[in-house]
Structure 1
């Protein structure tokens, strides 16, 4: 702990808790803004329609977003809140062997794009997450998905607004803080997974 005292640790935790809660108090208001709500609902409707129609969800992200991608795929292959038949969902970064093979042979920027070419078909959905909006492997994946007629949904933060030209649906978490952006992305994804369960279990 780098010789940190108990008091220092307690103060750090308290400060971060207060900061996070304050940021979420502001986020909860911003997330209810009608235009953003409509955008999130529109993306969710198309995602749900794809899955209900037999399509596959491909999910991609780096770092913390890779963990969210894995979480989302697991919610659909398993279940979120209601029991139902499993749904096809793939985290394109799940296989360490595939990621390192593609990165080694073709470059790291191709790790998700090659997965889209391998698994994506017309009518499927690519859900791509980049907190910065500038991850080259995410940009490549979106371009390949567009060329293959997949529906594309991009989740980013306030610095990633330029992604609008690369995705059918661009959803911008109203924050520049990476932890808050990823938490918003997880919130949206959970909301969609719960909706999928509600429809597909009925």
Structure 2
């Protein structure tokens, strides 16, 4: 049987020429590289670097002591949360025993059930209530610093005695005081903020791998 022809769906991008596409890609690659060149300097600012080291040390110490890592974020940050949890359960750069880590946005069934029955602002709070224990860690990411479900989760985590680490961007300065460690990427550009969040969390996971393989540090 002959397959029916694909529906002709119009899209504004269909009008773009190859030259337009090439120029847009070239421009964004250049702008991204330039932004990272500036960020590379800004991230070595002593106060910020000290905050990132302190947060990473506390997080890794909690895991070494037997705690579980809970990670929360929306959208792109949810994808990063999944990536981070996978790195600790698996490995980053060296083989080692797995560490307990959970992305609180991983289960569509749980997220949609809680969102439907209790409200979207409760999805991470309920996850912390179900899984979080004193000595565990909540790593919460919000590029804006204003995500209600992230704020709710941080509030309960602190009440429950979890270590709390919040990652945000320049607009999230208001998060300070809402977590034990608040790390602010000096950028208002969402892609760059999320890339820095990956840099920081990768560094912490790499530290775990090196601790488990002391000979690799030399």
TM bucket (normalised to shorter chain) is over 0.9
TM-score normalised by structure 2 residue count:
0.92
Contact conserved, 1:52 with 1:200, CA < 8 A, in 2? no
Task: Give 2:208's aligned residue.
Answer: 196
Q: Which runs of 5+ in 1 are unaligned?
A: none
Q: Which runs of 5+ in 2 are unaligned?
A: 1-12
Aligned-partner Cα distance in 2 for 1:84–1:165: 35
Which structure 2 residues correspond to residues 1-202 of structure 1 after superposition, within 5 A?
1-202=13-214
TM-score normalised by structure 1 residue count:
0.99
Aligned-partner Cα distance in 1 for 2:202–2:191: 16
State the Cα distance separating 1:2 from its structure 2 match: 2.1
Backbone CA RMSD of aligned residues: 0.7
Aligned-partner Cα distance in 2 for 1:71–1:198: 19
> Which entry has the higher C-alpha Rg, 1 or 2?
2
Contact conserved, 1:133 with 1:157, CA < 8 A, in 2? yes
Aligned length: 202
State the Cα distance separating 1:201 from its structure 2 match: 3.4
